[in-house]
A and B are shown apart, each in its own frame.
Chain A
Amino acid sequence: MPDTKAKKQPPAKPKGKPLGKPGEPTVVAEVNAKYQLCAARFSPCGKFLAAGGMEGQVLRWDASAADDAFPELPALQGHGGWIGALEFARTGNRLYTGDSWGRLSAWDYAAQETKPLWTTADAHAGWLRSVAVSPDGRTLATCGADRVVNLWDAATGKKTAELTGHTDDTFCVAFTPDGATLASGDLLGVVKLWDVKAHKLRQEFDAKRLSIVDRLQTVGGVRLLMFTLDGKQLLVGGTKPKNGGNVQGNATLLVFDAATGKESKQLELSTGHVYIHDLQFLPGGDWAVVLSGNPGSGKFALHKAGEEKPYFETTKLSNCHGVTVHPAGKRVAVMAMNPNSSGNGRVKNKDGSSEYPGNWSPLHIVELTS
């Protein structure tokens, strides 16, 4: 018989900052990048965390260090502008990055060397928006402001195909799990499916609800493309914009049957948090999603696959722009913003002087279950 008279132990104090109730996700560490970031990913081995910054550097941290210290490693040099395209190959210690000046680079991310294995300065004429690595690691796909989708030999950096047909800025690319098909999406809400071997257009999906032409501007567009793990569905994310200029709208995810092109679902993941900035699969297929946009304060949410309502969500992490799942499946890193990031930005000191510190992107390491 248990000793019922024994003094009740208080519940163990959870490590870190809880984002919800006990048992729900908790921030266990914060990696302060000091810079503003565009994209972040864990390496497939789980030992590295890499992020593309807004000052032409690829930042790296040791994700295996004790006590979640995440010591910073030497940054990878050579890019310019913003590095928003950043993907690891599944094998071979390869990281591929692309920047807003059109440069594409390949790296041995685990090496001390901070120079690229190869680099192509003019991979795109203008902003290189997205890079995808084929499942076998042999082919890269990129797209950009020049409306072109390019295929590359991942080993050499040699361009192997130029896929044309988009009529406006292309934002994202994604391979099917078998690598046979590539999807690309543009500002006008057009999704094209390409036969990777034949370099031919196979199909086109209509996601034009994610875009509007408003007076002078076309806004919105396809900001995220992901095939489900079984390759049967294509997730197309962005916003349903209500206006141009200072874009407002509802973060929206369209689900298409990848074979037929038929839209099966429209999920409005929020009202007010404008864009779906990133979506990653958790083990088992659940979604980790981050949203942000004016005037909302941003949101990190966990969804059962295909469900509109999240089973967990928080607005405690300000204006989230990226999420990456650690390969062990128990943690994610949420790339957010410092609080109070809006407004003039000038800080007045007591002595009458002023300074202009700017914003930064903390990477919150979130334990999914405490």
Chain B
Amino acid sequence: MTRRRSANHAAASAVQHSAFSTRHLQTGTQHSPLCTPSEHRLSRRKLLGGAAVAGAAAVGGSLGLVDMLAAAESGAIKKKHKQVLFVWIDGGMSQYESWDPKPNTKFGGPFRAIPTSVPGIHVSELLPHSAKQMHHLSLVRGMCTKDNAHSSGVGRIQRGDPKNRGVVYPFFGSAVANFLGQGPSGLPPYVLIKPGSGGFLYQDAGFLGPKYGALAFGDGKPPENLLRSERVTTADDDLRNDLRRRANARFALSHRAEPVEAMDFVYDTARELMKRGDLFDEANFTAKDRERYGAGEFGRHMLLGRKMLEAGVTFVKVTSYGWDTHGDNFNGHANIMPKFDRAFAAIVEDLAERGMLDDVLVICLSEFGRTPRINGHVGRDHYPEAWSLVTTGTGIRRGITVGKTNELGTYVSGDEYDIGHLFHTWFAALGINSKGVEYDNHGQPLPLAHDDCFPIQELLA
């Protein structure tokens, strides 16, 4: 078992990543006009301030980090700079109306099943575009988890539902940001594209410390005032940053180095993002891409997600809301699913065409599925006992189904998989040996995922 050594090693490692990426991107990045200030929800100052707090907390001694260097030395992390696309369907997508249809059965609902590009695998007729990408996808139809409440289930699923050891585990995005860092892009390692407002979601990081929180782009908009004011010249800006660095260096002489390194990490990350205003400019989206992804909110956000991956962001999470269909589930899915289908299929197709699926792990899931029985409001309620998710990309076998439900979809037949199994599997797919590395939470060794779970070998390439 490899144990990480100290927090400062991780921070130093992260800073090294930023320094490299800064050099990489300084030569070729183009700036673009951004949206009007009124459209922005998060200021650059707020981002820096939030991250500064994160850095301070991370190095304050109360929280530990995985020692990336030690992990690399041990061979636990086999390859560098893998990426993740994490599509979060908030509220609970119905497995019947998506990946595990049971047409013409008691609980099957009104929709038909259609064939896919993989003979023998059928999905709901609401997923015609994704059906054509099935050879790139893997369906896990044997999900059986424990929480049927949104308030707790969202966190439990995204934190991998490990054994309770009195600590708050990181969301998968924070864990991956911690392990894989920024990569050569120098961009924030964990970004979230979501409807509504943006901000810095430090809570995602749990015991890793808010440095590994999610930078959320509300409605796909960049942080407010992302670009440097025109009144500040490049020379002045360089002078200011030089002054900051000198002050930090001087401060570091008489203090612990970790806060300074963390602050540098945060500033460098923010400065890299400042150079990439072009990512947010929808004028850069081609008409063909807009049509393929769909003109709606989710389509735009998924297209931005692809741009973020192309730019090198390590972990890109795209959230879709509106899936908690206790009432009118079938009209709801009939309306919302095509928008999901179009965008999801388009990004899978694009990642495959660009060869990016070899390095990008793709995950799409909810906090649970929906009930087999159809309630009095013609809806489906929460159901963690038998549901589906879809995954693909680096390290994952493609064009298969793993696990299955019974004829009516009420239970998993055969092996049941909890989210802990998937966390082990996804870590393995990223080259992280989750059985061989531990978190070191201030001296407290913590497994990366649930002790009793294991990687699903059938799912691994």
Contacts and interface: CB of A to CB of B under 8 A. Distances in A.
Interface of A: 35-36, 54-56, 80-82, 84, 100-101, 126-127, 145, 169, 187, 214-219, 221, 244-248, 274-275, 292-295, 297-298, 318-319, 321, 337, 341-346, 356, 358-359
A187 B148 contact: no
A288 B339 CA distance: 38
A346 B104 contact: no
Contacts of B111: 81, 100, 127
Interface string B202-218: 00000000000000000
Contact of A245 (B91, B378, B382): B91
Interface in B378-397: 378-379, 381-383, 385
B110 A356 contact: no
Interface in B85-111: 91, 103-111
Contact of B105 (A55, A247, A356): A55
Interface string B280-309: 000000000000000011100000000000
Given A80-B112, A81-B103, A81-B111, A342 B376 contact: yes
A358 B381 contact: no
Contacts of A341: 373, 375-376
Contacts of A274: 327-328, 377
A55 B408 CA distance: 12
Nearest to A359: B373
Given A54-B109, A247-B332, A359-B375, 19 more contacts: A36-B374, A54-B110, A80-B103, A80-B112, A81-B112, A127-B111, A145-B334, A216-B297, A216-B321, A217-B336, A246-B324, A294-B326, A319-B377, A343-B381, A344-B383, A345-B373, A358-B106, A358-B372, A358-B373
Contacts of B321: 215-216, 245
A318 B376 contact: yes
Interface string B180-213: 0000000000000001000000000000000000
Interface in B339-358: 339-340
A187 B371 contact: no
B336 A356 contact: no
A274 B107 CA distance: 23
A356 B372 contact: yes
B60 interface: no
Contact of A246 (B110, B320, B326): B326
Contacts of B425: none
Contacts of A245: 91, 321-325, 332, 336
Given A82-B110, A274-B327, A344 B148 contact: yes
A274 B296 CA distance: 26
Contacts of A80: 103-104, 112
Contacts of A293: 327-328, 377
Contact of B410 (A36, A217, A321, A356): A356
Contacts of B320: 216
Nearest to B298: A216
Q: Which A-B residue pairs are the 6 nearest by beta carbons? A: A319-B376, A294-B327, A100-B110, A337-B376, A294-B377, A245-B322
11 contacts: A127-B334, A169-B331, A215-B321, A216-B335, A217-B332, A219-B335, A294-B327, A294-B379, A344-B371, A346-B410, A356-B373
A366 B451 CA distance: 59
A247 B327 contact: yes
B322 A55 contact: no
A88 B374 CA distance: 27
A215 B331 CA distance: 15
B418 interface: no
B454 interface: no
Residue with the highest number of chain B CB atoms closer than 10 Å, among A216, A246, A298, A344: A216
B125 A292 contact: no
A348 to B, nearest CB: 12
Nearest to B196: A215
B456 to A, nearest CB: 25
Nearest to B409: A356
A39 B63 CA distance: 60
Contacts of B408: 356
A100 B113 CA distance: 12
B326 A342 contact: yes
B374 to A, nearest CB: 6
Contacts of B379: 246, 294, 342
Contacts of B195: 215
A55 B374 CA distance: 12
Contact of B375 (A35, A247, A342): A342
A187 B104 contact: no
B328 A247 contact: yes
Nearest to A248: B327
Contact of A344 (B339, B374, B381): B381
A341 B379 CA distance: 10
A108 B377 CA distance: 32
Given A126-B125, A217-B332, A342 B322 contact: no
A88 B298 CA distance: 43
Contacts of B374: 36, 54, 359
Contact of A187 (B324, B326, B335, B375): B335
Contact of B104 (A55, A221, A342): A55
Contacts of B323: 245
Residue with the highest number of chain B CB atoms closer than 10 Å, among A214, A244, A342: A342
Nearest to B377: A294
Contacts of B373: 341, 345, 356, 358-359
A241 to B, nearest CB: 9
A60 B27 CA distance: 76
Given A245-B91, A337-B376, A344-B371, A216 B322 contact: yes
Contacts of B107: 358
Contacts of A221: 331
A55 B411 CA distance: 19
Contacts of B103: 80-81
Residue with the highest number of chain B CB atoms closer than 10 Å, among A246, A341, A343, A346: A246
B199 to A, nearest CB: 19
A81 B323 CA distance: 22
Given A293-B327, A341-B376, A216 B106 contact: no
Given A81-B104, A101-B112, A344-B148, A219 B376 contact: no
Contact of A219 (B324, B332, B340): B332
Contacts of A294: 326-328, 377, 379
A220 to B, nearest CB: 9
Contacts of B331: 169, 187, 219, 221
B48 to A, nearest CB: 30
B327 A246 contact: yes
Interface string B104-129: 11111111100000000000010000
Residue with the highest number of chain A CB atoms closer than 10 Å, among B104, B110, B339, B385: B110
A318 to B, nearest CB: 6
A342 B298 contact: no
A246 B322 CA distance: 7
Contacts of B376: 292, 297-298, 318-319, 337, 341-342, 359
B416 to A, nearest CB: 14
A81 B91 CA distance: 25
Contacts of B110: 54, 81-82, 84, 100-101, 127
